[in-house]
């Protein structure tokens, strides 16, 4: 997802999870879903290449319709099955600018894909849209040896609340980097498994209801 998603550690954000507040070419083995409704994999991407610091910037209102059609075509052309796509509003912390940056992007469900095939699809998207990196998340069982990340999804969070919480929590903004929300107010946060306690704490600061949050486990990659 362009500069900002890249500026986080490549440390991440798209957290959706069952916080109980408390993949590859067609020939590769496919991962079992870690949770009901979890696609084989997800790709988070945008066609934007500029830094946006104004929340009223008109570029944050684009539906990315053409981009959605083009990315789905890339997914199908590389042997995978394209599923649903969700429009996202992202808020990320830029260490270079020392301020929050904004991003309009999309999440794409990808099925019938393995690790290598997913990596290739993300690489094609990154190159075609001149992105520093594209985030992928493969849904896996919690006990899988490849599981290194969590995705948390929870209702009741908009981009303004996410922005304010990120600025108020230096540890979360430096380690998690940011997060995204859907247009209907659902938080999506992807974080390294080692940062799950921090992600839980941050979600609590956002006012997330633990009983309504959903947690997915899997493997994340920033493909550039």
158-182 pLDDT, tens digit per residue, is: 999 999 999 999 999 999 999 999 9
> Residue 11's domain spans which residues?
2-223
**Strands of 79-126, DSSP E:** 81-94, 99-111
Question: 26 with 80: CB under 8 angstroms?
Answer: yes
Question: 155 with 203: CB under 8 angstroms?
Answer: no
120-147 pLDDT, tens digit per residue, is: 999 999 999 999 999 999 999 999 999 9
Q: Cβ contacts of residue 67 below 8 Å, gap of 6+?
A: 46, 47, 106, 129
pTM of the model: 0.85
Total domains present in the chain? 1
């Amino acid at each position: 997802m362009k500069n900002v998603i890249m500026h986080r550690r490549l440390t991440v954000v798209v957290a959706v999870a069952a916080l109980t507040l408390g993949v590859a070419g067609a020939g590769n083995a496919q991962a079992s879903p870690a949770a009901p409704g979890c696609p084989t994999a997800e790709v988070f991407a945008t066609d934007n290449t500029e830094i946006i610091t104004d929340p009223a910037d008109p570029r944050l209102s684009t539906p990315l319709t053409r981009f959605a059609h083009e990315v789905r075509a890339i997914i199908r052309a590389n042997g995978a099955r394209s599923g649903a796509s969700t429009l996202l509003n992202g808020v990320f912390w830029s260490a270079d600018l020392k301020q929050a940056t904004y991003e309009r992007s999309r999440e794409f469900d990808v099925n019938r894909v393995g690790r290598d095939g997913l990596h290739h699809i993300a690489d094609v998207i990154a190159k075609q849209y001149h992105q520093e990196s594209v985030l992928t998340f493969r849904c896996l069982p919690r006990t899988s040896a490849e599981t290194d990340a969590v995705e948390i999804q929870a209702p009741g969070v908009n981009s303004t609340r996410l922005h304010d919480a990120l600025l108020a929590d230096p540890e979360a903004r430096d380690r998690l980097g940011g997060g995204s929300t859907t247009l209907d107010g659902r938080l999506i946060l992807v974080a390294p498994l080692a940062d799950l306690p921090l992600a839980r704490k941050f979600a609590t600061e956002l006012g997330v209801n633990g009983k309504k949050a959903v947690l997915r486990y899997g493997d994340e990659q920033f493909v550039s």
